[in-house]
């Protein structure tokens, strides 16, 4: 393993140059700010490849541009020191793993002092080993990129399949029977066990809040509660395979999160669960509501406390198409297969990231941060 040195032994960080938007003349040269491309110009400040490091604002964010670029004055760009043999892609990974985002030296707008960056420890193996390392890290990044794209396509098929099978619920072109949603579901609310009771928390029962509603399917939660909390509070256990909806919180300004749970969960007070009964299936209901997201978002109102809310009456009176149960079941099976494909791609991406993390730990003594940067 190569010896530990400092970033300042390998590079200099040069200041970008101001280029107001009014002075940018279009063209094919990307103009880089601290968080990526902010415009285009017809003249480069530096020939490529270019490594841009956020100096003000998004400090320490590292971007890689394979061609010429114009880094502006909120950034640095990295240059190898004279006499140092370093592969440019290796330098890109070196700077990403250096965790420069943690070196804020300003009290107002976040700022990166390059003298602090120069003191960060790193390693610089021989050039041939750098190239082998870059090959492996680039390969892992490419696997991740392809998996992300394929996964997004797989999941994008489901809403399209819904509309093709059942039609747009706003117009009901296939003239399915329509009834109020409340006639076909049990609507279950949530609650928060007393946080003053330590024995209520740290148990094994998932307690889902709006912040947990990001994955396509809910299979875990940040917080868990105990059996004692279940007995002493109004929370109820929601069986797997039902529909969860956020009904209160500022996320409703722009999104009404709708998911299904693959495990039994409890909910906090900002959530509702819908437990459907025949002739309504959970998968059909989940995608019916998703297809009507714009309608639901338009029904969000402001509460007396200033937060956003989706009234229970909006959900219970929602006009619900009721296609034949066998058709709903066939759709659910197709959606399940697409989700299996997406999860397989998730696993491939996770494996690639684990490989990159292991290699980075061996080379740099650290794990890489999350993906960031053009052409990463």
- Reduce the DSSP state of residue 346 to 3 states and report it: helix
CA separation (Å) from 243 to 6, 19, 270, 370?
A: 52, 50, 14, 30
Structure tokens given for 278? 């025949």
Please state, in angstroms and rounded to a whole number, the distance separating the CA atoms of residues 248 and 309: 4
Structure tokens given for 289? 């509501």
Does 3.90.226.10 match the CATH number of domain 4-124? no
Quick one: which of 208, 204, 203 has its CA closest to 192? 208
β-pair type (223-225, 201-208): antiparallel
**pLDDT per residue over 284-308, tens digit each?**
999 999 999 999 999 999 988 889 9
Residue with tokens 């940040």: 222
The runs of H, that is alpha helices, within 125-198 are 127-166
Please, are residues 235 and 191 in contact by the beta-carbon 8 Å criterion? yes
Structure tokens given for 301? 């109102």
pLDDT bracket for residue 1 (50, 70, 90)? low
Please, are residues 322 and 179 in contact by the beta-carbon 8 Å criterion? yes
Residue 16 pLDDT > 50, yes or no? yes
pLDDT at 182: 97
Please state, in angstroms and rounded to a whole number, the distance separating the CA atoms of residues 129 and 110: 35
Lowest mean pLDDT among 178-187, 285-294, 337-346, 349-358: 349-358
Lowest mean pLDDT among 251-255, 289-293, 343-347: 343-347
Please state, in angstroms and rounded to a whole number, the distance separating the CA atoms of residues 309 and 320: 21
pLDDT bracket for residue 134 (50, 70, 90)? very high
* Alpha-carbon torsion (203, 205, 207, 213), positive or negative: positive
Please, are residues 10 and 25 in contact by the beta-carbon 8 Å criterion? no
**Spacing of C-alpha 187 from chain mean position:** 29
Please state, in angstroms and rounded to a whole number, the distance separating the CA atoms of residues 158 and 334: 8
> Which secondary structure element, helix H or strand E, spans residue 70, and what is its range?
strand 70-71
Does 3.20.19.10 match the CATH number of domain 177-322? no
Please state, in angstroms and rounded to a whole number, the distance separating the CA atoms of residues 361 and 262: 34
pLDDT bracket for residue 106 (50, 70, 90)? low
Rg from Cα positions in the chain = 26
pLDDT at 371: 40
Rounded to the nearest 10°, the torsion over CA 310, 316, 321, 323 is 120
DSSP state of 154: H
What are the DSSP calls for 115-129, one per residue? HHHHTSEEE---HHH
**pLDDT per residue over 143-157, tens digit each?**
888 888 888 888 889
């Amino acid at each position: 393993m190569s010896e530990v040195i400092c970033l300042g032994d390998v590079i200099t960080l040069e200041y970008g140059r101001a280029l107001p938007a009014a002075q940018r003349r279009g063209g094919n040269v990307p103009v880089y700010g601290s968080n990526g491309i902010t415009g285009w110009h017809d003249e480069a400040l530096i020939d490529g490849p270019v490594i841009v490091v956020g100096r003000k604002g998004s400090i320490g964010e590292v971007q890689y541009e394979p061609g010429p670029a114009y880094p502006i004055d909120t950034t640095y760009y990295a240059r190898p020191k004279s006499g140092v043999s370093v592969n440019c892609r290796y330098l890109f990974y070196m700077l990403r793993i250096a965790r420069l985002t943690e070196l804020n030296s300003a009290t107002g707008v976040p700022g990166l002092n390059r003298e602090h960056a120069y003191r960060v420890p790193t390693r610089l193996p021989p050039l041939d080993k750098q190239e082998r390392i870059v090959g492996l890290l680039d390969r892992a990044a490419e696997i991740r990129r392809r998996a992300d794209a394929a996964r997004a396509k797989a999941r994008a098929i489901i809403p399209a399949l819904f509309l093709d099978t059942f039609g747009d619920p706003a117009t009901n072109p296939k003239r399915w029977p329509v009834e109020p949603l409340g006639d076909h579901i049990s609507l279950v609310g949530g609650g928060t066990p007393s946080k003053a009771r330590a024995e209520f928390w740290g148990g094994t029962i998932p307690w889902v809040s709006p912040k947990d509603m990001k994955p396509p399917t809910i299979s875990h939660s940040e917080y868990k509660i105990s059996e004692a909390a279940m007995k002493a509070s109004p929370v109820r256990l929601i069986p797997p395979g039902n529909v969860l909806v956020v009904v209160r919180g500022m996320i409703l300004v722009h999104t009404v999160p709708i998911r299904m749970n693959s495990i039994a969960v409890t909910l906090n007070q900002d959530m509702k669960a819908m437990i459907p009964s025949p002739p309504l299936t959970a998968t059909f209901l989940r995608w019916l509501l998703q297809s009507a997201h714009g309608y639901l978002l338009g029904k969000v109102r402001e509460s007396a406390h200033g937060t956003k809310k989706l009234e229970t009456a909006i959900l219970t009176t929602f006009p619900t198409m009721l296609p034949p149960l066998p058709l709903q079941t066939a759709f659910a099976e197709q959606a399940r297969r697409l989700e299996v494909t997406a999860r397989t791609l998730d696993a491939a991406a996770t494996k690639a990231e684990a490989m990159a993390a292991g290699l980075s730990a061996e080379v740099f003594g650290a794990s890489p941060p999350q993906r960031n940067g053009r052409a990463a």
